[in-house]
Amino acid sequence: MQASTLAMKRRFRRARKRSERGYTLVEILVVLTIIGLLMSLVGPRVLNYLTESKVKAARIQIQSFASALDLFYLDAGRYPTSAEGLSVLMVRPGAGIAVWNGPYLKGGGVPNDPWGKPYVYRSPGEHGAYDLVSLGSDGQEGGTGTAADITSWVQ
């Protein structure tokens, strides 16, 4: 009886040692290959969503600026000049404006576009009382795709 018990204990120890050996190199390489394939399929879509979200954020900021500029117009009777720029929405300008109920934008200053560049403001504009433009990801006028300009007017 004791011999069969010893034999069972030996078999149990061998089985336990085999299960504690870990993963083989082939198993790890298969898992890494699967992860790599998944990333190659999902990665470009995620990056595309990120670039699209910057364009949407720029459009929303331009709409916010348009609302602030309209409020400024209601108070001052005119839009800020190109020389005054968008900073007049945050800080009361010098002489020439009787009523100023600003600041018209929240935050400590005029925000840059999602690519970190300042918005271009022109008044009077070519397409309306004012033109407000983000130059896109390339920071230059014109462009296509994410490098295209985002404007306050319909193109």
- As a whole number, mean pLDDT of residues 17-22 equals 64
| Per-residue model confidence (pLDDT) at position 145 | 76
Burial of 130 (0-12, 13-18, 19+ CB in 10 A): buried
Give 54's pLDDT tier (boundaries 50, 70, 90). confident
pLDDT at 18 over 60: no
Q: Which residues 6+ apart lie within 8 Å of 142 measured at CB?
A: 148, 149
Single-letter code of the amino acid located at 152: S
Say what the pTM is.
0.68
For residue 110 the two structure tokens come to: 């005029």
Instruction: Spell out the residues 6+ positions from residue 131 whose beta carbon is closer than 8 angstroms to its own.
Output: 120, 121, 122, 123, 125, 151, 152, 153
Output the pLDDT for position 94.
76
Tens digits of residue pLDDT in 69-125: 999 999 888 899 898 888 888 888 877 778 888 788 888 788 899 999 999 999 888
Residue 153: which pLDDT band, with cuts at 50, 70 and 90?
confident
Averaged pLDDT for residues 52-62: 89
Cβ(139)–Cβ(145) below 8 Å? no
Q: How does pLDDT run across 20-46, given as a tens digit for each residue?
A: 668 899 999 999 999 999 888 888 787
Res 132: pLDDT: 93
Each residue's pLDDT tens digit, 133-146: 998 888 778 778 77
Distance separating alpha carbons of residues 31 and 29, to the nearest angstrom: 5
Structure tokens, 84: 């005054």
Enumerate domains of the chain plus CATH numbers: 2-151 (3.30.700.10)
